[in-house]
Structure 1
Amino acid sequence: MDFAADLRLLRTKAGTPSYRAMGGAAHYSATTLSDAASGRKLPSLAVALAFVRVCDGDEAEWEQRWHAIAAELNENCAMTSAAEDVSGAPYVGLRAFGPDDAHLFFGRERLVAEIVGKPQRLVLLFGASGSGKSSVLRAGVIPSLNAEGKTTLLFTPGPHPIERCSVLLASKLGVTAGAVMDEWRDDRGLHRLVSQVSTGEEIVLVVDQFEEVFTLCDDEDERARFITALAVAANAPDGRCRVLLGLRSDFFAHCSAHPALLDALPDGQVVAGPMNAEELRRVIVAPAGQMNCVVEGPLVADLITQAHGRPGVLPLLSHVLLEVWARRSGTRLSVTGFQQAGGLDGALSRTAEDVFSGLDEAQRKLARTLFGRLVALGQGTEDTKRRLDVGELGDAPGLAAVLEAFTAARLLARDGNGVEIAHEALIRAWPRLHGWLHEDRESLRLHRRLTVATDAWESEGKDSSALYRGTRLAMTVEWAAGNDDALAPRERSFLEASRSAEIAGSRRLRRLVVLLSVVSLLAVTSTFVAASAQRRAADQRNAVRAQVVAGEAAALYPSNPQLAVQLALAAHRLAPSGHTRDGLLSTLPLSVVRQDDEILAVALSPDGQTMATGSDDSTARLWNVTDPRKPLEIATLSGHTEPIYTVAFSPDGGTLATAGFDRGVQLWNITDLRNPVQIAVLTGHTENVHAVEFSPDGRTLASAGWDRAVRLWDVTNPRQHTEAAVIDGFAGVLYDVRFSPDGRTLAVAGDKSAIRLFDVMDPRRPVTLSTIEGHDGAVYEAAFSPDGHVLASAGDDLTAQLWDVSDPRRPTALATLNGHGDNVYTVAFSRDGHTLATAGDDRTARLWNVTDPRRVTGPVILSGHTDAVEVVVFSPDGRTVISGGWDNTVRLLDTDAERTVAHACDTVTTVITEAEWDRYFPGLRYQPPCAG
């Protein structure tokens, strides 16, 4: 970035003051100022002006430049007001993500992988309202399945699920829906139909909002036939059908009442629990990054704090992010915009109230009637949204304006003649609507039954047998007398016909007696089913609670490690899962090394017994890590005057190279670890040195930095070193250099989205082999696999990538590793090449199984750092992974999860109290995991 290059030039003109001296004058850390000049990302205006100020630059001129660059970056991110159109925004508000939004859908990668990877062919995705089930299915699962070549058919059941499914299949088969519906006469009808659609590949029926089978389908026979047919199609031995059902958790008991669904539990069950802190971070940050925009750190932290552990919060989060987007300033989404939008809990209510307040009195009455019809009242479950045909309301004056107002605000969703609430979160978050629904629920239920009865009467050709009679008619007529303005013309016609056709009879009493007998029998039968459902519901609640506590434990670790360990262990024992495992591992480092300043570099000696760290305090330190549980500081190397960004051991372990912001590469004899001796200073770089690396034979040292040059040094005799060659002509600053294991190839990573490979068999005559392009932004680090066939790279496009470099003249792409929520700074292979570690600005380290680099699995997410993770390395035996970060710590972790869990209580001396237990596990019996 030219802006960063000119900042570096400004510093040079100012006499190249040290970053530590600049930090003292600017009241920012040396790392923050150096990062501003690195070109990694556009610094904040405050940091940029502080940098300029201490270098005696023209602040007004630089502020103007900053705004110009921000505007350029914001070509697709122009300033708007909340009232303007937000089409093209990276956030979708209340509506669910669809397949076309897959590029903006972040945070649920692990859940999507769990669903897609389920071996069962009937899978039920449960989740609280607002947990993102529809988005997971539509923007996560369906694109993943389509990418695998599978055919997917998506639909919601509606009042007539068989009809909905038939219409969809008919379009695939090229026949009429009526012909398809005829096939549903027996349980294998759907199986036969799907077999006709499928041409050999698996076909997947994705039924979103499956709870509509229970809330909108009033025909019990149709409901039972639909459910049975789905199960038969999925379980047929000769079938190629897979069925995915998404439904709310509070309908678990409804499913357990159907043997066809009960048989699929629990193996076919997946729970969409609350997102952990890292997943929330990706939801917040990554979509804006797609538009070259940034979310301010304080806003990210505030949103994560408010949303973490809250079920059903995702629609509120998505809505407020859309509102903040509409109020953004340049490329930044700010706390100010968040506050103006009304905050996480207030934004949705404020939007709805603003729309409602803009209506006249008659339109407000229509709005109340409209929303009363758009909600299906729950009976033992939460209220749900209901899709409505606009024709149900008739042609009341002003209705079109009401619909348009709420649709424009994205509170209602319309297509054709259908309309529905964009998300059920509105039912909970808008106090006015909540009040309407609870003022007189029985009246609303009565009105809803009237609407259903009118539908049935009309569908049966206005047959008199479908009319109301007796007590039901009397009650409805009495209600209608005081609510005439809520009735649609078709409902009035139904009531008039019912009153005209009323025939009194004594059969009502007999029916009542029979009904009571049936109810008594059903009550006995349902007791057993309810008890079983209750147990399953408890298991589900425990799974959700365990995931929440696991995330809280990882966040708690820095301030209260003993409590964090016990919470994470209890959560994992309560409901073991990938989430709880990651949370537990994050609280169980073998040890944590703390320094007074940021850790910018970490390296391990070839024998794995000595660790070197480089810090923002201008020192390198040597540590004895023979026992990784008890690192011991051995010596401090104080030869530098600026932060140290890179350290490297020679292959024989006798020499250490250090370099950083003071431009010189220093070589140290460390054969006596307690008395390291500086033996040489390699000069030649004109800017910060960002990377050093010894060749496998120890004869050559490569260094690279911000002066856009790689220097190769002959260090056969370090005291009499010579410069073998200079490789220049790079387009941007350089961040890393790496030798292949055989020493023949050198990889150079830098600012302009590329990695260049050089033949350095003769280090005096390096030859360009190839250029690898694939990252969308700077490449910060590269690493060769132990066999030299694979190169891993880390970039500021939030990805790590794998490349086949078996022939370094013709590298090819293998895989892209997604999941990080911010820049990826570092990559490292384990000695056996089966595991890749990545880490970066999102404060996590991730472990990936790369045994097959074309089919990477994982990751295990380690989230103990509280600031950016700059470097990660493996011990030679692969038993320990070490990460260093800007939170002034180095964390040493055991890579064997089972061994780690077995020793979880080793360091616990203070047992969790009952009060602490009740705070995190309310309603569960006190069982301290480390009491014994």
Structure 2
Amino acid sequence: MTEAMLYQGVEGFVYWLRSRPEPMVVLVIDQFEELFTLASSEDRQQFFNLLLGAMEYAADKFKLVLTVRADFIASCLEIPALATLLQQSSVLVPPKLTDEDYRRVIVDPAEQVGLKVEPGLVEVLLQELNHSAGDLPLLEFVLEQLWVCRQAGELTLAGYQQQIGGIKGALERKAQEVYENLDSQAQECARWIFLSLTQLGDGTEDTRRRVCKSELVVQKYPDELVEKTLLALTAAKLVVVNFEEEDILAGNKGETIHPISSSSAVTIEVAHEILIRHWSTLRWWLEENRSRLRSQRQIEQSAALWKQNQQQPDFLLQGIRLAEAEEIFVKYTDELSADVQYFIAACLDAREQHQREQKKRLRQAQRAIAVISVLGIAASGFGGLAYFQKQAAQLREIAALNASSQAFLLSHQQLESVIASVKAGRELKQVFSPHQDILLATAATFQQAIYQTQELNRLPGHSQQVNAVIFSPNGQILASASDDKTIKLWRTNGSLMTTITDSQNRVTAISFSPDGKLLAAADNSIRLYGIDGKLIQVFTGHTDIITNVSFSPDSKIIASASLDNTIKLWRIDGSLINSWQAHNGWVNTVDFSADSQMIASGGEDNLVKLWQATDGKLITTLAGHQGRITRVQFSDDGENIAAASGDKTIKLWDANGKLLQTIEAHSEQVNSIKFSPDNQVLASASADRTIKLWQLNGNLIRTIQNSESVRDISFSVDGQVLASAGADKTIRLWKVVNEKTLQTRDIRSVSFSADGKTFATAGWDGEIKIWQGDASLTKKFQGHGDIIDAVVFSPDGENLATASADKTIKIWDNNQQLVKVFTGHKDRVTSISFSPDNQIIASGSADKTVKVWQIKDGNLLHSLAGHTDEVTSVSFSPNVKLLASGSSDRTVKIWDNQGNLVKNITGHGLAIASVQFSPDGKILATASWDNTIKLWRVADGGLIHTLTGHTDGVTSLSFGFDGQILASGSADNTIKLWSVKDGTLLKTLLGHPGKVNSVNFHPDDKVLLSGGDDAGVMLWNLDLDDLMQQGCSRIADYLQHNGDLQSGDRSICRDE
């Protein structure tokens, strides 16, 4: 009957209203905006007519209450009658509710139906909400759950926390229920959606991420499937759909909007971040896919950047990043957008083209060899052909080994990377007169392998996860304990001494006595061994697994922690001294203070507790961690206490319990921490597969990448080596100090002396440092009162020039005595260049001028004007007849020695950062913030090559001594080595964590010097003979003692 009247339109609806016995009919329409998103324009108009007609003809019997999102108000106002009603009777809800608003939302509806709300419940709800767009749907859901479990007419805190598990528990159960009710296809799609809606934290919490709906539609998950899944998730209030104005207006123009439009204006986000942090299914998906997702999103950003820049080849991926993209392309093609697939394909095409060019050069070299072979036929028959074939095979093998070395580094197989480079070096030594390109590519790959390889040795032998590792006090033995129920004792060179096999359970912890005579091991009991591995005593008493053991400094007492919630103290004869209930839950860790007076413990209750060692009385409790305590340790000097936690952080307290630092350390649980022997460094190991070294002020020193979760770590006695125990069943030894990086910060300029025996560095602090070639600092002095932008040795090695933001150039002798000061620039001096004959010096300045000075008397010879922006770089030609200058005005100018402008070169798209003449003076190289390097013929200014590959501005250039190689430093944190002859990229050097500001070749080309932001100065060794010695020294113990090596690999260093 009702439907029949409704079909009659406004008249039918009004008739129905007037036929009702109630004095008033109130119609409530929630989410009124769905009329604009779910209905066709025709249906929408009919519905509007029905409502507005009733308002006009049955106003005494009919009231309309509707809720509409603020971003749809504009759509409502386009309907005149509705606009009038809204202007007269609307109540605006502010976009961000205050705490008082939230209280009213919670309490008022309950009171209207006679329910009480426990005051404590309101406050807890306010604390757990994060005042975001998803709060009201989430609050509605939680209040519905509270209604179901109300007690005696009251919504209680106990019901909230215990029955529905708070917001976290309620939401997790709801999410899991919704997910499990989806069909298998929709479940896969839901997984894809939630992963896409999560912003991966980088050492921080994962957070929600808003994405366009169109980004979710890929080959594997077509539009219909995504839409169906989103409708289920939005109906359950797990995700929120946001419609932007252009989508809404499209609907008002008569277009039919799909239920969840694929327009780029429609965005999706997780309703609340609690879902990301506490839904265990989603956490598992994230951990399973984290590495791949991070790489994939970087590729997506690169694809977008390439598209934004008109698909310029400069923005294509190369090297390691392309290898990652190719792997993702192969494995997950159907999860990539068409744009990303096209981008990766373009990158691969570019690589193929580059490889074809390399093969072409190889064929040219082969033809040259063939000519030599033909010339020698009369004397040697067909021996030349055999020689050529052998040489070609050797070159192919070397290229393959170099590629393997890089691939091993990428997959964190560091020792294998060094082995591959050693093999490439040995092979190259067999090649007669190898081309400079292959020499440099091999040396640079080798250098990269040695620099990035912190792993010294790898000890296989355990058949299951290794739980603990520790060096003996005398530094001669390394002990390891494993889930395979064994303990192994190793010499520090990696040779196995003995395996202890008498445990019946997995061995969870081990500890050497400080006097070095005993080893305690834990499973369900404590087993005490001599240093030879013979069992001395078994301590029993704990009723569950023992998690940790620690000797007192005098070696007379052992403390043990257990899953039975207790700490026990034992004499070394096995007699129990004391036992107490330590934590509300498992006790995971114990440690004695250096003076034996205190014991620290950590447990599942997120607390660190300090106890008197004599009687077990609680001294204090250190709170603050939001997750289980996995490890506590006192520093040997007694000054600090550190704790590692499942909340991914490390906390550092002083001896009095004052919190000094909270270090946001890892992206997963921190499993272990250790102070270095000098108490200056704290090492941490994590389930995120990394080991990190920290200064005690919380600054990160270095990250070491492992292949699997790291369970435990231990410093060697001298602090130079760190041992790690891993879930990959191995023990690894890592080099703690990186000798290649000189610890000086924020370097602006570097320069080798003419004889290569010393080099100078300068930077932001105005200080000049002089170093020996072996990287030992010999002198440092304050050169300027402001930033030093350039430091250059004179060609005769007698002087050093510096240029500064204080507007001066200074000349210093070899005793660091000031010889001369040049003044005259009106702004900072950015660049300087000595003439090869040592007679004059040129300077470029932010005052837009180039000045040329007589060194002997300091007279100004020329002031060259013409640039319209700051001059960033100057360079003399080898014959002193020409001077080149580069500027932020995007031009390069070449001047003669009389100060006349000879050429004006244009072609770069952004500011020029560096100009350099080749050693023969025939080529001018220019670097720009447009990410490119260009090589120009000096004779006519013609462009020879444009070198692309950097992904940020190119800051510095340096030619090798013979002019065949060009090095470039960049703001993309890399250094690249290029062949000048054909412009091809030979090698990318990685290592600077910040912008590279300056590069300079050693006079013999065997070392490259670089300086940059944050990491200071680096020396890149390109001497193949020296690299062979270093590489073989680095892997000597591994080659000799690792049982997993192939027999042929053991002998690769016997001649080195």
- Measured against the shorter chain, the TM-score band is 0.3 to 0.5
Query: What TM-score comes out, normalization by structure 1 length?
Result: 0.40
Query: What TM-score comes out, normalization by structure 2 length?
Result: 0.36
- Between Structure 1 and Structure 2, the one with more helix by share is 1
Larger RCO, structures 1/2 (Cα 8 Å, 6+ apart): 1
- Between Structure 1 and Structure 2, the one with more strand by share is 2
